[in-house]
Amino acid sequence: HKYHAPVLYQTFNFLLKSITMKKRNTLISSLLTIFLFQSLFCFSSAASSRHWFRQPIVKSCAVAGVLCCASCIKIVSTGNECLVERLGKYHRSLQPGLNIIIPLFERISFQDTNREQILDVPPQECFTLDNAPLTADAIVYMRITDMEKASYKVSNVKNAVLNLCLTHLREEIGRLTLEESFSKRGTLNQALVKRLNDICQDWGVHITRVEIQHLQPSHDILRAMEMQMSAERKKRATILQSEGERTKLINEAEGRAGAMLVDAEARKRSIILDSEAEA
């Protein structure tokens, strides 16, 4: 057909170039394009001919060809990556853009994003070094750096990271006392990031940061802390009050001593003046 000839000619040129340059994806896409346009050509030829008894068969072939070509096309969004298995074995990864896969022989085994992801660690009960119960939760920021390792080194990478963070969160809190767990939250975050990265690097995952959201003591601990704070405030108030009274007494004593010295000096000068006058 005169309308299909230029497209088929360009497709055959791509086919020859792909064979020469040994580009697999270009070769497959060229073959699929030839098949698609050949099906459309047969459909248009049958539609314009008088052999109406052949039209259903040609239409079915054209529809099947279009569906086959559509199933071969895989569009990957920016920031995502897909892994392809051929006959059950890892073959390649699909980068963002238009990609071609072979139906029945190839399938998408794993797909995820390379962007930073957020995992919400649910609240869990922990115990500090001084056996104080705490309820702690956190947020984990992670990024998949190697999609192949994330797929084949662990069955469910996000669930694995989540459970690993739960375990290490309890362990790190158990190394601190109750007061240290509140005052050294930044140190606790850094320790969690380091310990998680030591394990997750084998899974192709990088932990960028871990943020402890809440550290909630039990009700008994809260009441004890409130009583302790109240006692500390009363103690400070008593100390300040006693120091004020002490300062007051010292000032009064110094004032009386100063007055007596001034009175003695005045009498001394009076006696000296009287003796000089008699002489």
Residue 53 Cα to chain centre, angstroms:
62
- Rounded distance, CA 192 to CA 15, Å? 54
Residue 68 Cα to chain centre, angstroms:
39
* φ/ψ (deg, to 5) at 102: -95, 115
| Across 201-215, average pLDDT | 90
- Rounded distance, CA 93 to CA 147, Å? 8
| Across 131-159, average pLDDT | 89
- Rounded distance, CA 100 to CA 112, Å? 18
| Across 20-29, average pLDDT | 48
Q: What is the pTM of this model?
A: 0.59
CB burial string 138-155: b at 16+ within 10 A, e below:
bebebebebbebbbeebe
Helices marked H in 141-218: 147-152, 157-173, 178-183, 185-200
Least confident of 12-26, 176-190, 237-251: 12-26
Task: Identify the pLDDT of residue 45.
Answer: 55
Written as six digits, the tokens of 274 are 């009287």
Higher pLDDT, 227 or 151: 151
- Kindly indicate the confidence band of residue 10, based on its pLDDT and cuts at 50, 70 and 90: low
Task: Identify the pLDDT of residue 270.
Answer: 77
Task: Identify the pLDDT of residue 21.
Answer: 46
- Using DSSP, state whether 36 is helix, strand or coil: helix
Task: Identify the pLDDT of residue 70.
Answer: 67
Say yes or no to pLDDT of 39 above 50: yes
Higher pLDDT, 168 or 268: 168
Strand pairing class (80-86; 106-113): antiparallel
Task: Identify the pLDDT of residue 193.
Answer: 92
| Across 194-204, average pLDDT | 91
Give per-residue pLDDT as tens, 65-89: 566 666 677 888 888 888 988 888 8
Task: Identify the pLDDT of residue 1.
Answer: 44
What mean pLDDT, rounded, does the chain reach?
Answer: 76
- Rounded distance, CA 212 to CA 39, Å? 60
Instruction: Give CB contacts under 8 A, 24+ apart, made by 180-186.
Output: 180/128, 180/129, 181/128, 181/134, 181/215, 182/215, 185/212, 185/215
Say yes or no to pLDDT of 272 above 80: no
Helices marked H in the chain: 5-21, 24-48, 55-72, 147-152, 157-173, 178-183, 185-200, 219-278
Residues in a beta bridge with 255 = none
Looking only at Cα atoms, what is the longest distance across the chain? 164
| Across 146-155, average pLDDT | 88
